[in-house]
């Protein structure tokens, strides 16, 4: 099992796949043991229930769902934030990984 598990949520789970790849590369470069994956908003509930998630990041396109997810995560102690729009647009895996790790601290 990975030391840190980071779940990204977007509309269809597709647009964040490149970002996941870049985050995984940044994690590997730091010799970190992470599991980083992306799911659609519709699949998020199942993953919240089935996986040991350390942090959840929302893609900018689903930022409007933050309130809904805050309620779902309230009793689970899982931090939640929205991925910085510039980092998302540039697919800056290093910065998004840093954002996730800051939330876990």
Q: What angle do CA 32, 38, 40 make, to 5 degrees?
A: 165
Query: Could you say which of 6, 7, 8, 10 is catalytic?
Result: 10
Among residues 99, 18, 88, the alpha carbon closest in space to that of 55 is found at: 99
In angstroms, rounded to a whole number, what is the distance separating the alpha carbons of residues 59 and 92? 13
Catalytic residue list contains 10: yes
Catalytic residues: 10
């Amino acid at each position: 099992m990975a030391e840190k598990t980071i779940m990204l949520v977007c509309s269809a789970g597709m647009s964040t796949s490149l970002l996941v790849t870049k985050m995984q590369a940044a994690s590997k470069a730091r010799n970190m043991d992470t599991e980083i994956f992306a799911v659609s908003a519709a699949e998020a509930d199942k993953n919240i229930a089935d996986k040991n998630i350390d942090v959840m990041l929302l893609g900018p396109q689903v930022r409007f769902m933050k309130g809904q997810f805050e309620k779902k995560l309230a009793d689970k102690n899982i931090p939640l934030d929205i991925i910085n729009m510039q980092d998302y647009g540039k697919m800056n895996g290093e910065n998004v990984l840093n954002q996730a790790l800051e939330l876990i601290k």
